[in-house]
Structure 1
Amino acid sequence: MEANVLERLPEPIILKRLMRIQAALNIILCQDEWLRYHSFVPEWDEGVGMAKIDNGAGDHLLILFSSAGCIIKGFDHESELSPYAQDEHKVWQGIYDDAPKELLSLLNDDAIEQDDVTFCIWRETSDTNWHKGKVEVPEGASDGTDFLIGCIFHTPEDFAEFAKGYFELSLSLDIVAKIYDDAPITAEMIKLLNPDCDVKEVLQELKSLHL
C-alpha cells in the first residue's frame, strides 16, 4: 500500500501546480484563512515555496519546494507514531534518518514544528522517484501517509466532491475543471463558485499565489 501511495505522487513541478490550484479554490470558497484546507505560499522563504493541508482537526501535511527538490512532512495526530503518543516525546526512529540534509534543513523553522511528524517523504531534483524513511510501523498501526496524501485532489471531480462535504458547497464542475486546466480565474467564475464572497478581495488574494 505504501508503495502505491508514493507512486500516486506526481513529479514535484506537477504537485506544486496542483497545490496552487487547490489553494486558489480554497481562497474562493472560504474567506476565513484559518478555516482553509489547502493553502500555498510561493515565497515562504528565499527560493522556497510552501503548500499546506490542514484539516482543522489536528492533522496536517506540509510540502516545501526548492531548487534542491521537495520534502513532505505529514502529521496524523491519531497515529501511534506521533511524538505525543509516546512515553518520551520524540520523533519516531527512522522518519528523518535517510532524508537528504539540504531538504531536511528546510524544515528547521519554529513555524513548521519539525518534531510534529508521523511520516516524511522527499524527492531530490535529480531523483526519478519519491523516497520515504525506513520506519518500523507497529502491526495494525498507521503513520497517516495514505490518509494525508489522499487529501491532495488530482482531479476536478475529486475536489468538487471534497468541497461538497467540507465547505457544504455544490460547485460547478465545469468551472472547477477550467481552473484545474490553468484557465485564468475571472470575477464571473468566482461569483458562480461562491456567490457570497467579496469578489474584489478574492481576486486580490489570488494574486499572491502567482498564478
Structure 2
Amino acid sequence: MTALSGFAAALPEPARLRERLRTLTLLEAAFGSRWPRYAYAAAGEDGFEYFRYENGGGDDYRVFLGRSSAFLRAFDHESSLSPYDEEAVWPGLLDGLPDDLVPLTQLDDDEPEFPALTLALWHGHDGTGWRHGAPEPQDGAEAELTAWMLEPLTLFTPAAVGEDLSHYYSRPVDAATIEAVLDGEPLSRTLVERLASGTVWDPVEELAHRLGAGSA
C-alpha cells in the first residue's frame, strides 16, 4: 500500500467528511478571526457545495461535495510536486479522474496554464471509496504525500483538533468544549465564550444556520 492509498483509506466517506468539515469550520469561526482558515459556500450552479482550508502560508485544500460525487484537491507550496516547477501537474496525479470532475481542477484562481495541485482524490457513491491517480516518479524522485494539512480530518479527536487550534491561535483551548462539540452538542454562545472570550456571537450563529448545524 502506498502512502497515498493509505491516506485514501483513512479518509471518511463524503457524508461523514462533510460533518467533520462543518464542525471544524464552526470551531474556527468561534475564534472570531478576520482571516479564518476554514470557509464554506453553499452549492452553486454546478451542484457542489464547497469547503476550503487556507493557512495563510501558501497551503490550501478544497473539498467539493455533490449529490453523487466528491472531489478533494490540495496544494502544498513547499512540495516537490508543485506544478510551479514544471508549469504542469505532476505526471499521473489526475489519472482516472472522472470527466465530470475535471472542471474542478481548473478554478478561477488557478494559473491559466495549470492548476495548483499536489494532491487529488475523488469519490463516487458506488461503494468503491476514495480514488486517486498513480503519480509517477519524475527526475528520479518519487511523488510524496502532501496530506499533512488534512490531518484534522483523519485524526478527528478532541485532542488532535484542540492541539491544532491551540497551536494556530497560540492560546490554550478548552478541551471539554472541543469534546462536547465533536460529540454533537450544538454550538452555543456559552461554548463560544469558553473557547474565545469576546468573539461576536451573531456571525457564528449565522454560519451555523448556513451550514445546517443549528445553534443553541
Using the TM superposition, give the Cα deviation of residue 160 of structure 1 relative to its aligned residue in structure 2, in angstroms.
0.4
- Distance in 2 of aligned mates of 1:67 and 1:100: 15
- Distance in 2 of aligned mates of 1:158 and 1:106: 30
Per-residue CA distance 1:151-185 (angstroms, 9 max, x = gap): 43511211100111101232222211121122111
Question: Where do residues 64-83 of structure 1 align in structure 2 (5 Å cutoff)?
Answer: 64-83=64-83
2:6 counterpart residue number: 4
Amino acid paired to 1:68: S
2:146 counterpart residue number: 145
Equivalent residues of 1:5, 1:145 under 8 A apart:
no
Amino acid paired to 1:208: R
- Distance in 2 of aligned mates of 1:144 and 1:30: 32
Question: Where do residues 1-211 of structure 1 align in structure 2 (5 Å cutoff)?
Answer: 1-32=3-34, 35-86=35-86, 89-111=87-109, 115-138=115-138, 142-152=143-153, 153-211=155-213
Per-residue CA distance 1:23-46 (angstroms, 9 max, x = gap): 0001111331xx222222232555
Equivalent residues of 1:42, 1:49 under 8 A apart:
yes
Equivalent residues of 2:60, 2:76 under 8 A apart:
yes
Using the TM superposition, give the Cα deviation of residue 49 of structure 1 relative to its aligned residue in structure 2, in angstroms.
1.1
- Distance in 2 of aligned mates of 1:61 and 1:200: 27
SS at match of 1:122: strand
- Distance in 2 of aligned mates of 1:180 and 1:118: 29
- Distance in 1 of aligned mates of 2:110 and 2:85: 20
Amino acid paired to 1:10: P
TM score, norm. by length of structure 1: 0.88
Per-residue CA distance 1:96-149 (angstroms, 9 max, x = gap): 231011122334431466711112111111133211111114455554433233
TM score, norm. by length of structure 2: 0.86
Alignment root-mean-square deviation, CA: 2.1
Q: Give structure 2 stretches of 5+ with no counterpart.
A: none
Q: Give structure 1 stretches of 5+ with no counterpart.
A: none
- Count the aligned residue pairs: 207
SS at match of 1:71: strand
